[in-house]
Structure 1
Amino acid sequence: MSYRMLELIAPPDTAKEARKIVEDQNVLGVWTDTLEDGCSILRVLVDVNRIEALSDTLTEKFSHVDGFRIMLFEVQATLPQPQESEEESDDQEEEASEKKSAGRISREELYTDVSGGGELNIVYIGLVLLSTLVAGVGLVRGDVAVIIGAMVIAPLLGPNVAMALSVTLGDLDLGWKALKTNAIGLGVSLALAIVMGVIMNVDLESQQIINKTNVNIGDITIALAAGSAGVLAYTRGVPAAIVGVMVAVALLPPLVNVGLLLGAGHTGLAVGSIILTITNLICINLAGIVTFLVQGIQPRSWWEVEKAKKATRTAIGIWVALLVILAIIIWYWNLSLNPL
């Protein structure tokens, strides 16, 4: 069982009122203390499945109060082990909220993790360059182990998950930031791969290179699974690098393959890798949005929910339409390569 410690800082009267609200909830422990500046701190030990509903309730009630702040901390362990209350809640909305958030971290924790992974900085660019170098060498050598090593770095997971979350929450600022980070990362990787294609001897007998030029419906399935797995890694609090390998399978090798083939002058073969890369980008983002929706990720206030729903419907419609178009292109592409 996972727990969170919620700390609420507010004036004494507000903290006292908040404690009354918290004690009516199904929490595992409540403590109050006074700070040196005259404010009070309310500490609440709560199951991770209930933290989002509780923080939403407190924020909606007291966010206008000067000095109000909520902080969330992951609890690694607590002794003695908390005893779960067997009392059933009569609040249907609370029960529905807990059911939606079951098995995942809170919206606020998720947003902090995802937005951090979508930041454009020197570390991100460095990881993109390093993963491209390793993947390029692995593809040219036909060495699967080296290619897997490049995928472990997995720098492209963060911005793609951030793009999906921005649509689900209707957060335009996060969306533009993630889109810029993703575009620059893809561009830097492609540019370096083209240079490697010019310098290195790209052997077309390498099975790894040829495999990345063949596109079929199975690749769509892999990319959809990769996008869903990447999102689940974030919502469950699993280290992103673990599942990031699966997203890298769908993104990094095909993209690097495009650059290698273009740099070596094999434009015709590069078309297949371009189609595969675009298809994987669409599938990862589509699966990410759907997975966020299934897990009940949505904004706190009702007017933001309506805006997010509109953005989500639009994005899903665009991604599905593009996926259908690419599926048709893939079918014709394979037909032209293997005529009856």
Structure 2
Amino acid sequence: MRHIQVTIPTGKRRAVLESLDEEGIDYVVTDETSSRDYDAVVFFPVPTNAVEPVLDSLRNVGVAEESYTVVVDAETVASRQFDELQEEYATESVEEEQISRQELLTQANELTPAFSVFLAMTLISAVVATVGLLLDSPAVVVGSMVIAPLIGPALSTSIGTVVNDRDVFATGMRYQFVGVAGGIAAAAVVAWLIQSTLLVPPGIEITEIDEVSERIAPELLLLPVALGAGAAGVLSLATGFSIAIVGVMIAAALVPPMAAAGIALAWGLPVAALGSTVLVLVNLLGVNLAGLVTLRYLGYRPGSWFEISTAQRQFVKQIAVFVTVIVLLSMFLAGVTYTSYQISSFEETATQEAEAVLAEHDEATLLELTVEVRSGGAPLDASLDATEQIDVVVIEVGGPPGVYDEELISTLDTNINQHADERVAVQVRFVTTGEG
């Protein structure tokens, strides 16, 4: 429920009160005694989803946007007339919980801090995420998401489009792209300092760190996370659900990949940095796309009939741009996903071949088989075939002393390479597991 206070311009009192009477709204009117061009102040309660249509109807009878209008939460309204009004606006859909267009813009603005504060918080978030990734600490990475103020600008962009407010749209886009660029730069600087001051072991392979490796080899399956975050963010904002929780989800799609891109740059891995940056951009655009579509589905439109056609054109244009760029960038992610699948399939096939060969040697047992790819442990270059990225297949064979067999090594090499398009190096390591 909402309680609304509206100042009535001089000469518009009768039209405003007649409009409220037609809506069946119970109201209280007081005279306006200031020297401004207002005749009275009217107070009235309405259901949450009635705020926008009621304010629009008042605007049609002469209450301009410059009029002093306040919308606040109302805990309880004891009025038979209000109960009837509430029944009139009651629905079985999400519309019953929707806030007005005016409240939506206000909340988006409140979630978007001053640019200096936004940038500082985003940089701090990226720095914390960088440390969390290098520590391989999920708890620290989650903490970095909590402090990232990314939800406001992300939702402002979508809201600005559907209500035809170009200033809100431009501000949201500027915040997001500057924040992403600044976050990657901050992560790169901090990662370089950590590496230079030997706060991590010299020669460490960052792709051996789980929290890092899964973000520098991004896959297409991560896109639904961003789409879900954008849709959930808009629904939360429009219905009053806990927006803070959804804000963490949006940050989860953006902050860790930003930090991973900076780490890859500091470690001199440009291809890995490119992969993480592509993931950030795809997620960023995915959040905006999902938010835009969800707002349109919920029925938000500009307040003026003259602006609706313009907003419609902007909506279609924005959707086309977002979808086109996402599709182009997703081609890279799709390549990485396919390459990852190929490498996993090759590893499974190699394991089966090794088990089959060792089954013919009673004393030899397969302990472990790993496939190592270039630059560490993840497929990074989607333009290459999977086997072109494999550096070596390492096979650990256990057995009693004397199990070492040149013929066994040759058989493993031959059988595994028959499944590779390019020749793959095979290393066999014998580990004594018993006494001969």
* Superposition TM-score, scaled by structure 1 size: 0.88
Hey, what does 1:9 align to over in structure 2? 7
SS in 2 for 1:24: helix
Give 1:163 deviation, angstroms.
1.1
Aligned length: 330
**Could you say what secondary structure the match of 2:301 adopts?**
coil
Q: Quote the offset at 1:221 in angstroms.
A: 1.1
The aligned counterpart of 2:128 is 134
Q: Is the 8 A contact 1:9 1:15 kept in 2?
A: no
Which of 20, 29, 35 in structure 1 is aligned with 2:18? 20
Per the TM alignment, residue 177 of structure 1 is displaced from its structure 2 partner at its CA by 1.6
Matches within 5 A, 1:250-329: 250-329=253-332
Query: What is residue 355 of structure 2 aligned with on the other side?
Result: none
Amino acid at match of 1:22: L
- 210, 213, 218: which is aligned to 2:213? 210
The answer on 1:32 being equivalent to 2:29 is yes
Give 1:40 deviation, angstroms. 1.4
1:147 counterpart = 2:144 = no
Shift of 1:190: 1.3
What is the rounded CA distance, in whole Å, between the counterparts of 1:252 and 1:215 in structure 2? 14
Distance 2:85 2:309 in 1: 35
Q: Distance in 2 between matches of 1:85 and 1:169?
A: 30
Cα displacement (A) at 1:11 = 4.6
Partner of 1:165: 159
Structure 1 vs Structure 2: percent identity of aligned residues?
27
Which deviates more, 314-323 or 79-88?
79-88
Report how far residue 233 of structure 1 moved: 1.9
Give the drift of 1:64.
5.2
Q: Distance in 1 between matches of 2:10 and 2:297?
A: 39
Q: 1:230-249 residue pairs with structure 2 within 5 A?
A: 230-249=233-252
1:191 matches 2:189: no
> Which residue matches 2:231?
228
Question: 1:239 Cα shift?
Answer: 4.5
**What are the superposed Cα offsets for residues 269-298 of structure 1, whole Å, 9 maximum, x if unpaired?**
222212211211121111010010011111
Structure 1 stretch displaced more, 232-241 or 221-230: 232-241
Q: Which residue of 1 aligns with 2:395?
A: none
Q: CA deviation at 1:152?
A: 1.1
Q: Distance in 2 between matches of 1:299 and 1:48?
A: 18
Q: Which structure's CA Rg is the greater one? A: 2
Q: Distance in 2 between matches of 1:288 and 1:224?
A: 8
1:181 to 175, 178, 182: 175
> Conserved in 1, the CA contact under 8 Å of 2:226 and 2:253?
yes
Counterparts in 2 of 1:87 and 1:162: CA distance versus 1, 3 Å: closer
- SS at the partner of 1:299? coil
Where in structure 1 are there 5+ consecutive unaligned residues? 90-94
What do the CA deviations read for 1:278-337 (whole angstroms, capped 9, x no partner)? 211121111010010011111011221100100111111121122222232222233445
Alpha-carbon shift at residue 79 of structure 1 (Å): 5.5
Is 1:53–1:98's contact at 8 Å kept on the other side of the alignment? no
**Residue equivalent to 2:57:** 57
CA distance in 2 between counterparts of 1:108 and 1:217 reads 36
User: Equivalent residue for 1:92?
Assistant: none
Is this contact kept in 1: 2:157–2:169, CA < 8 A?
A: yes
Closer, same or farther: CA 86–306 of 1 in aligned 2, 3 Å: closer
Residue aligned with 1:17, SS: helix
Question: Where do residues 68-83 of structure 1 align in structure 2 (5 Å cutoff)?
Answer: 68-75=67-74, 77-78=75-76, 80=78
Change (3 A) 1:114 1:324: same
> For the structure 1 residues 96 and 169, does the alpha-carbon distance in structure 2 shift closer, same or farther, using more than 3 Å as the test?
farther
Corresponding position of 2:397: none
Q: Which residue of 2 aligns with 1:43?
A: 43
Indicate the larger mover: 327-336 or 206-215.
327-336
CA RMSD for the aligned pairs? 2.7
For 2:215 and 2:86, locate their aligned partners in 1 and report how far apart those are by CA, in whole Å: 56
Q: Contact conserved, 2:220 with 2:337, CA < 8 A, in 1?
A: no
Query: In 2, are the aligned partners of 1:100 and 1:296 still within 8 Å (CA)?
Result: no
Structure 2: unaligned runs, 5 residues or longer:
195-199, 344-385, 388-436
Cα distance in structure 1, aligned partners of 2:29 and 2:330 = 59
Q: In structure 2, give the amino acid aligned to 1:34.
A: D
